Amino acid sequence: MSDRDFEYKLVVVTRQDLKLSPGKMAVQVAHAAVSCALSAKRGEPEWFESWYGEGQKKVVVKTPVLQDLFALKQTAERAGLAVALIQDAGMTEIPAGTFTCLGIGPGPANIVDKVTGHLKLV
């Protein structure tokens, strides 16, 4: 399956500066993905069903700056995409309330790429 077979995607933007352990990062990304998927299922059911039916493509990218999460959230919302800004419960590794990542989508790849296409893969 090549990248071009996917017309829908969900992107999770993570904070490079937090240097989370792989397990901790996986949990944060999964929080964002579940929240976004449920939000899109309600708000954009056709996008959600297309994405899920294709195999729920997910991409994890990174940003060096916390403030980027807030700016990207606004841009994604204006594009009509579901968003989920995740704060950690703070039981391990980082203080409670730390913003860890931002989920965007699922939505059409060309719309999502306009928001996150410039960010590097984790």
Binding site for its own copies (CB under 8 A): 1-3, 12, 14, 21-23, 25-27, 29-35, 37-38, 41, 52, 55-56, 58-60, 89-91, 96, 121-122
* CB closer to its own copies, 100 vs 108: 100
* CB closer to its own copies, 64 vs 78: 64
Q: Smallest gap, in angstroms, from Cβ of residue 95 to its own copies?
A: 12
Residue type, 115: V
Distance, in Å, from the CA atom of 67 to the CA atom of 102, rounded to the nearest integer, reads 11
Q: Smallest gap, in angstroms, from Cβ of residue 56 to its own copies?
A: 6
Who contacts 15 (Cβ-Cβ below 8 Å, separation ≥6)?
Answer: 62, 63, 66, 69, 99, 100, 101
Q: Smallest gap, in angstroms, from Cβ of residue 15 to its own copies?
A: 13
* CB closer to its own copies, 101 vs 115: 101
* CB closer to its own copies, 26 vs 74: 26
Q: Which ranges constitute the DSSP H helices of the chain?
A: 22-43, 45-54, 66-78, 109-116
Distance, in Å, from the CA atom of 48 to the CA atom of 112, rounded to the nearest integer, reads 13
Distance, in Å, from the CA atom of 84 to the CA atom of 61, rounded to the nearest integer, reads 15
Q: Smallest gap, in angstroms, from Cβ of residue 30 to its own copies?
A: 4
